[in-house]
Structure 1
């Protein structure tokens, strides 16, 4: 069991214990109903907490957390201000923040005696205290302290997941910027040179190629999005192949076979074109084939060429950190592994004189696709 899952279990168990301590279920009540209730309320609070600690997320979560604890009042604070409150009995902001500073300095739960009594629990992300959960009731029992502490740890776990989500998005955006920077100098110059060569001899073809180039760059350089559809990726590849065919002429042959059922499958943005670009680089002169099949819960993508092939050392280099060894392949490989797991990286089969085959699997349904 992961650490975050364990924290969630502890929190819900603690909350359940507090609920049961306050009152046994009535005769005839289902034995599992208190457990269901605690889990249900925690589930209502979780989505907003996964947005991180801010005023909006705190306002959405505070009522559910107070219901989970069953206390008269509850406040969620950052290190500097009260973000949200629910119920009667939360003191004014200055008084709350005075106690918050004690918690932030001590790094442990702090009990306040008086009217009302309170227990303030630190909220942490990666060992940093970023706020508190302030729980108010007529009296603070040992059970309430334990329960509030566990709920605070569960909230911290959700906030840590939010931090991981943010880090993941930043990483993907950085990798997309790196991929775009790699495409731009490599491809733009050759395309414009090819188009220029047709300006006098075949102006109409030059015009068509210029429009293809505009469509390709508009897609490749558009605002960063994590995902697109296979149909959009294939449209980008089609423009790219037309431009490369104009450059290489009959030396470049290509075929594209796609199962219609997979056209709407979400895929990471710019995951297909770098594979085709690599195939052209290592397969000229020769044929490049793109085959995309429906494989039940997944879409299976194959990009292969019958060119010169690569030795094992070069294959390891293009899937490693050497950005000059492969045109975007390491970028695609890393993004696939980060999004879907280590089993979903690129599989490259190649040997000198035997061409190259790159296989890619994409799940049709995945939680990451929700941002599409």
Structure 2
């Protein structure tokens, strides 16, 4: 056989092998797609995915923009021609066909909003009721049945989900009720988040109230004592006092940076040293890389104030406070240690549990806020005993994309 013929045969064989490899890879890829799940599993995935996306839009409760985006996902779940979401005042969102029925919806939903019972209106009856509710005579091509299910947040009906279809079978009735219950759960989660925010704001106000009477009175007295003897020092202290109170009583934001909180602490300690003199000694060891870490507003200053008021003020002679902040993997770790009088661990546990009122409300509020924001594993860690001083450790995540300082 000539060399050219052998070459052609070899070339054909190589091409055939290449085609066989491509076919084999293609079959494997197709098989891997089939292995993603059965039809039922894929349907479950699509349902969960749609619910997850809708839930993101309802994170702030029943708002017009959130309801409009969520309604697209929810209509797909029900397979209805149209889906509407209302609150108690009006229609928030309408997705799909037969929007000619929109003006009549609140009239149709009035009984559901009043008694919290699902209503099913057949197509022929809907024509009559919609016309009587203000839509006039509807053309035949918009004839639909509607299922109207209440959105209940606790014992309150806060809106309805209305699903429109050519006929309202038992499956659509049950599915619409389930979707309304799911929307209600998102509303309750949004209300819970809002309540938690209000609680945090109330706790910050409590901390500010704690600062104001005791610290402000003593600081003004200390400033007054320098007016005649050292007016320059008095003016400097007035400026520091103004900066401290401006920061402490600011009205914006639930979070700040570690650097800002340390500046506040520096002003606080400057004013306290004006009163106590050399009795208050402070050392700081701060790693620069954690200065930009976001922390809850007024979470460190109350801990330092606790060290001064309850650790050193009751102690004879000078006292020392050591403040450290360093990188600890995914966390920034801050410690505040004093060599003051300490306290009984049982009393401390009672204070942190909220079972005892008293002068340590700052510790309890900071601990509660840290647990609310970062979870129960991230509260304050406090080591203390009578006559042994106190060591407080606070750990916060370095990455907090949802929190802005």
TM > 0.5: yes
Q: Which runs of 5+ in 1 are unaligned?
A: 1-26
State the alpha-carbon separation in 1 of the partners of residues 234 and 303 from structure 2: 26
1:119 is matched with 147
Query: Are the counterparts in 2 of residues 78 and 131 from structure 1 also a CA contact under 8 Å?
Result: yes
State the alpha-carbon separation in 2 of the partners of residues 323 and 90 from structure 1: 59
Quote the RMSD (CA, aligned, Å): 2.3
Q: 1:138-190 CA deviation, whole Å, 9 max, x = no partner?
A: 12233222322222222111111101111111111111111111111111111
Residues 78-117 of structure 1: matches in 2 within 5 Å? 78-90=87-99, 92-93=101-102, 95-114=104-123, 115-117=143-145
The alignment status of 1:175 with 2:203, answered yes or no, reads yes
The alignment status of 1:309 with 2:342, answered yes or no, reads yes
Give the secondary structure class of the aligned counterpart of 1:255: strand
Equivalent in 346, 350, 358 of residue 384 of structure 2 = 350
Residues paired across the two proteins, number = 345
State the alpha-carbon separation in 2 of the partners of residues 370 and 50 from structure 1: 16
Instruction: After TM superposition, give the deviation of residue 339 of structure 1 in Å.
Output: 1.8
1:243 is matched with 271
Query: Are the counterparts in 2 of residues 277 and 327 from structure 1 also a CA contact under 8 Å?
Result: no
1:256 is matched with 284
State the alpha-carbon separation in 2 of the partners of residues 215 and 317 from structure 1: 35
Give the secondary structure class of the aligned counterpart of 2:235: helix
2:312 is matched with 283
Give the secondary structure class of the aligned counterpart of 2:332: strand
2:194 is matched with 166
State the alpha-carbon separation in 1 of the partners of residues 403 and 387 from structure 2: 43
Instruction: After TM superposition, give the deviation of residue 233 of structure 1 in Å.
Output: 1.0
The alignment status of 1:362 with 2:390, answered yes or no, reads no
Q: 1:17-54 CA deviation, whole Å, 9 max, x = no partner?
A: xxxxxxxxxx9796465444433333332222111113
Residues 1-372 of structure 1: matches in 2 within 5 Å? 31=37, 33-90=42-99, 92-93=101-102, 95-114=104-123, 115-281=143-309, 282-284=311-313, 285-319=318-352, 320=354, 322-326=356-360, 328-366=362-400, 369-370=402-403, 372=405
Distance 1:144 1:30, change over 3 A: farther
2:19 is matched with none
Higher CA-based Rg: 2
Q: 1:226-263 CA deviation, whole Å, 9 max, x = no partner?
A: 21111111111111111111211111101111222221
Instruction: After TM superposition, give the deviation of residue 267 of structure 1 in Å.
Output: 0.9
Query: Are the counterparts in 1 of residues 381 and 393 from structure 2 also a CA contact under 8 Å?
Result: yes
Query: Are the counterparts in 1 of residues 312 and 340 from structure 2 also a CA contact under 8 Å?
Result: yes
Instruction: After TM superposition, give the deviation of residue 362 of structure 1 in Å.
Output: 1.5
Of the structure 1 ranges 343-352 and 233-242, higher mean CA displacement relative to structure 2 is found in: 343-352
State the alpha-carbon separation in 1 of the partners of residues 193 and 96 from structure 2: 31
Query: Are the counterparts in 2 of residues 323 and 330 from structure 1 also a CA contact under 8 Å?
Result: no
Q: Which runs of 5+ in 2 are unaligned?
A: 1-32, 124-142
